[in-house]
Chain A
């Protein structure tokens, strides 16, 4: 069976339990007496009372007019448990495994129904889920894998944009980690090679520049687990598709990398140099053949063309960076002295753009192209530096002029004072 056929098969298995039309018919229990909540809320057993308590809290389904029976079925008007939980009314109790997907998909895969509540929301979650590792394993009978409720919750389900939702961008990592960081939960799962599936992804991710951007800089566009792995269709990116995944955000780097000799050699694309979960803030030290250089992992020695190119690119970057720093200090000094330097500041910003462009160009691994950009940047810095030096001379000129002027004024003041004294004495 090819993957497409398998996907469709799994989806049919999920959705076949209850046809779409039934979802439309059952959605939103008619207003009336609902004994589910009133009865469960008073039960002493927490397992049974907690759902009623959570459902009473912010819950998108309750707020949209759905009731317990829309998922659990049964008779919500009955006052006796036996009638309320009557199988004749379709009561299904707590859905587990595939039944969770079925229960959610009954509405969430129904485009017509969803249009009434959230017209912009996608309706292919179940389809995507069927393609995920979770979905495939579930279809194969593994009930430990995550289903809809594992991430979104079953009761007290909040909108994704609600910052308290477990799938809000800042909470996604922790939600995934609740299973993936658990030794016990992940025991028995292996990588394609047979090695145990690691449980350190989240702790590694917490060291990354992505985590820092998301959690410390409150940049909600920064990636969490689902940005690279997908959410409903969660799966590790294939070896060949890593650059595409990273390139979703880092488009320029991905384009440059595509033209690089490394694109043909690196098995894991970007991950080879930057890592996957613990993607650290890149630095110029990663380039070249120095102690912290990533290039040195593979390249070394004077005859290694890669090492020579890496060193040349690093030298270029350092040269422009040093020149910008030195001229920046000069311009700041002149500015602090009150000389107008906005043109020079603009030029320095352009030089910094060249530095950024050169850093992006490194991904093409072509030293000549990097050098061309650096030379353009250096020309700008040289011109700016000349203007800065001119500013310093101007400053000196102003101060000298002031001293001379003050000297002349002092002379006039003394002369006037003497003259006044002479006049006063004369009477």
Chain B
């Protein structure tokens, strides 16, 4: 049956190029090949997000008066609404965790080196987009925690040097977090970000398929001159392994959704006192806690502004990594960039943990 459909399509648009490409495509086999699966896993979780997000859209109402009640309706009255919402929430968190793991694996294996600079660039922007998805989506249930966390988060955006005030008003739709903020975040979450993400994912995938998987420098160096690395066929061997990982992720998601449902909490009240322990989602904790630890003034400048500017520079550095790491581009080991990646990883893990337990 499948063959008949393929033949039918083939007869009309000639898929022979695609078939030949897939048949000829191989994936290098080496000790670090396990990291290759993180990209596919991120893609799978993104697909889950899109699928569950579309279903949630059918019932969600993006207004301060109805948002909370509509989510409440979804989880209590809509058939399998609880499952869809819980999977969407859990998958969002897993997606960011896996995206970070993918980012660090690429960073440490120097897969960004020539000729894959564009793959790195699209990937980094996609990582930032995933964080933006998380930030904008967090507010949508319009509950107490998300409301105040958004207030804090947009407040931090307000300290960005030179454009902070503009950015804060742009995000909030005014001076305060209100229904206008919810409308903006909703538009961002379901239209603007998905549109950019779709284009970038397409470009990222195209580049990966076109250039093939990057082989770590030390694996390349160990290979004898003229020796071709062992490869496994992309289809079906590698694809089946990818699918296997996706199924395991699906099982984890289902178990988390059933046993640890995402709490809805109390409806946001703009006039309520800020509840104690307000903090952003875990993926912003390291940054949040760092800003908290900074002194009020650094070199005569406001500490928080300096911190935000430093994070901005760090983001810019990440974007430029392929162009700064000359040794990797020459196929040589690059211990400085390995150390920087390890430092970033240790910082993120340590400050996230400290931030989680900090009062």
A interface residues (Cβ-Cβ under 8 A, vs B): 337-340, 342-343, 398-399, 401-402, 405-406, 409-410, 412-413, 416-417, 419-420, 423-424
- Residues of A near B254 (CB, < 8 A) are 402, 405-406, 409
Instruction: Report whether B240 and A420 are in contact in the complex, using a CB–CB cutoff of 8 Å.
Output: yes
Return the contact of B258 from the options A343, A399, A416, A419 (Cβ within 8 A): A399
- Residues of A near B282 (CB, < 8 A) are none
Instruction: Report whether B247 and A416 are in contact in the complex, using a CB–CB cutoff of 8 Å.
Output: yes
B interface residues (Cβ-Cβ under 8 A, vs A): 72, 75-76, 82-83, 86, 232, 236-237, 240-241, 243-244, 247-248, 250-251, 254-255, 258-261, 263-264
A-B contact pairs, 29 of them (CB 8 A): A337-B261, A338-B82, A339-B76, A339-B82, A339-B261, A340-B75, A343-B76, A398-B82, A398-B83, A401-B258, A402-B254, A402-B258, A406-B251, A406-B254, A406-B255, A409-B251, A413-B244, A413-B248, A413-B251, A416-B240, A416-B243, A416-B247, A419-B236, A420-B240, A420-B241, A420-B244, A423-B236, A424-B232, A424-B237
Instruction: Report whether A417 and B244 are in contact in the complex, using a CB–CB cutoff of 8 Å.
Output: yes
- Rounded to whole angstroms, the CA-CA distance of A76 and B309 in the bound complex is 69
Return the contact of B264 from the options A340, A410, A416, A419 (Cβ within 8 A): A340
Instruction: Report whether A340 and B243 are in contact in the complex, using a CB–CB cutoff of 8 Å.
Output: no
Instruction: Report whether B76 and A340 are in contact in the complex, using a CB–CB cutoff of 8 Å.
Output: yes
- Residues of A near B72 (CB, < 8 A) are 340, 342
Instruction: Report whether B237 and A423 are in contact in the complex, using a CB–CB cutoff of 8 Å.
Output: yes
Instruction: Report whether A338 and B247 are in contact in the complex, using a CB–CB cutoff of 8 Å.
Output: no
Asked, given contacts A338-B261, A342-B72, A399-B258, whether A409 binds B240 with beta carbons under 8 Å apart, the answer is: no
- Residues of B near A399 (CB, < 8 A) are 258
A338, A402, A406, A413: residue with the most chain B Cβ atoms closer than 10 Å: A338
- In the complex, the chain A residue whose C-beta lies closest to that of B86 is A338
Instruction: Report whether A410 and B241 are in contact in the complex, using a CB–CB cutoff of 8 Å.
Output: no
B86, B241, B251, B261: residue with the most chain A Cβ atoms closer than 10 Å: B251
- Rounded to whole angstroms, the CA-CA distance of A109 and B232 in the bound complex is 103
Instruction: Report whether B247 and A420 are in contact in the complex, using a CB–CB cutoff of 8 Å.
Output: no
Chain B nearest CB from A150 CB (Å) reads: 42
- Rounded to whole angstroms, the CA-CA distance of A416 and B263 in the bound complex is 35
- In the complex, the chain A residue whose C-beta lies closest to that of B257 is A402
10 additional A-B residue pairs with CB within 8 Å, beyond A343-B76, A398-B82 = A338-B82, A338-B86, A338-B263, A339-B82, A342-B72, A405-B251, A409-B254, A413-B251, A416-B244, A420-B240
Return the contact of B237 from the options A410, A412, A413, A420 (Cβ within 8 A): A420
- Residues of A near B240 (CB, < 8 A) are 416, 419-420, 423
- In the complex, the chain A residue whose C-beta lies closest to that of B266 is A342
- In the complex, the chain A residue whose C-beta lies closest to that of B71 is A340
Chain A nearest CB from B34 CB (Å) reads: 14
- Rounded to whole angstroms, the CA-CA distance of A410 and B251 in the bound complex is 8
- Rounded to whole angstroms, the CA-CA distance of A399 and B254 in the bound complex is 10
A409, A412, A419: residue with the most chain B Cβ atoms closer than 10 Å: A409
Return the contact of B247 from the options A340, A342, A409, A419 (Cβ within 8 A): A409
- Residues of B near A410 (CB, < 8 A) are 251
- Residues of A near B260 (CB, < 8 A) are 338
- In the complex, the chain B residue whose C-beta lies closest to that of A342 is B72
- Rounded to whole angstroms, the CA-CA distance of A413 and B76 in the bound complex is 32
- Residues of A near B264 (CB, < 8 A) are 340
- In the complex, the chain B residue whose C-beta lies closest to that of A413 is B247
- Residues of B near A339 (CB, < 8 A) are 76, 82, 261
- Residues of A near B82 (CB, < 8 A) are 338-340, 398
- In the complex, the chain B residue whose C-beta lies closest to that of A398 is B258
- Residues of B near A398 (CB, < 8 A) are 82-83, 258
- In the complex, the chain A residue whose C-beta lies closest to that of B251 is A409
- In the complex, the chain A residue whose C-beta lies closest to that of B76 is A340
- Residues of B near A423 (CB, < 8 A) are 236-237, 240
- In the complex, the chain A residue whose C-beta lies closest to that of B260 is A338
- Residues of B near A405 (CB, < 8 A) are 251, 254
Instruction: Report whether A409 and B237 are in contact in the complex, using a CB–CB cutoff of 8 Å.
Output: no
Chain A nearest CB from B81 CB (Å) reads: 9
B236, B243, B258: residue with the most chain A Cβ atoms closer than 10 Å: B258
Chain B nearest CB from A343 CB (Å) reads: 7
- Rounded to whole angstroms, the CA-CA distance of A399 and B75 in the bound complex is 16
- Rounded to whole angstroms, the CA-CA distance of A338 and B90 in the bound complex is 14
- Rounded to whole angstroms, the CA-CA distance of A278 and B328 in the bound complex is 84
- Rounded to whole angstroms, the CA-CA distance of A417 and B247 in the bound complex is 11
Chain B nearest CB from A124 CB (Å) reads: 40
- Residues of A near B247 (CB, < 8 A) are 409, 412-413, 416
- Residues of A near B236 (CB, < 8 A) are 419, 423
- Rounded to whole angstroms, the CA-CA distance of A297 and B82 in the bound complex is 56
- In the complex, the chain A residue whose C-beta lies closest to that of B77 is A340
- Residues of B near A402 (CB, < 8 A) are 254-255, 258-259
A340, A342, A409: residue with the most chain B Cβ atoms closer than 10 Å: A340
- Residues of B near A406 (CB, < 8 A) are 251, 254-255
- In the complex, the chain A residue whose C-beta lies closest to that of B232 is A424
- Rounded to whole angstroms, the CA-CA distance of A343 and B258 in the bound complex is 21
Chain A nearest CB from B139 CB (Å) reads: 20
- Rounded to whole angstroms, the CA-CA distance of A339 and B263 in the bound complex is 9
Q: Which 10 pairs of residues, A with B, have the shortest CB-CB distance?
A: A338-B261, A340-B76, A402-B258, A416-B244, A409-B251, A340-B75, A413-B247, A423-B237, A420-B240, A409-B247
- Rounded to whole angstroms, the CA-CA distance of A342 and B264 in the bound complex is 10
- Rounded to whole angstroms, the CA-CA distance of A108 and B300 in the bound complex is 57
- Rounded to whole angstroms, the CA-CA distance of A70 and B89 in the bound complex is 75
- Rounded to whole angstroms, the CA-CA distance of A406 and B72 in the bound complex is 27
- Residues of B near A416 (CB, < 8 A) are 240, 243-244, 247
Chain B nearest CB from A413 CB (Å) reads: 5
- Rounded to whole angstroms, the CA-CA distance of A337 and B86 in the bound complex is 13
- Rounded to whole angstroms, the CA-CA distance of A409 and B240 in the bound complex is 14
- Rounded to whole angstroms, the CA-CA distance of A205 and B241 in the bound complex is 77
Chain B nearest CB from A362 CB (Å) reads: 34
- Rounded to whole angstroms, the CA-CA distance of A410 and B244 in the bound complex is 10
- Rounded to whole angstroms, the CA-CA distance of A222 and B244 in the bound complex is 67
- In the complex, the chain B residue whose C-beta lies closest to that of A426 is B237
Chain A nearest CB from B27 CB (Å) reads: 13
- Residues of A near B248 (CB, < 8 A) are 409, 413
- Rounded to whole angstroms, the CA-CA distance of A401 and B82 in the bound complex is 13
- Residues of A near B244 (CB, < 8 A) are 413, 416-417, 420
- Rounded to whole angstroms, the CA-CA distance of A338 and B262 in the bound complex is 7
Chain B nearest CB from A256 CB (Å) reads: 35
- Rounded to whole angstroms, the CA-CA distance of A342 and B265 in the bound complex is 10
- Residues of A near B261 (CB, < 8 A) are 337-339
- Rounded to whole angstroms, the CA-CA distance of A338 and B232 in the bound complex is 44
- In the complex, the chain A residue whose C-beta lies closest to that of B81 is A340
- Residues of B near A342 (CB, < 8 A) are 72, 76
- Rounded to whole angstroms, the CA-CA distance of A343 and B251 in the bound complex is 31
Chain A nearest CB from B121 CB (Å) reads: 33
- Rounded to whole angstroms, the CA-CA distance of A347 and B325 in the bound complex is 64
- Residues of A near B241 (CB, < 8 A) are 420
- In the complex, the chain B residue whose C-beta lies closest to that of A401 is B258
- Residues of A near B232 (CB, < 8 A) are 424
- Rounded to whole angstroms, the CA-CA distance of A269 and B333 in the bound complex is 93
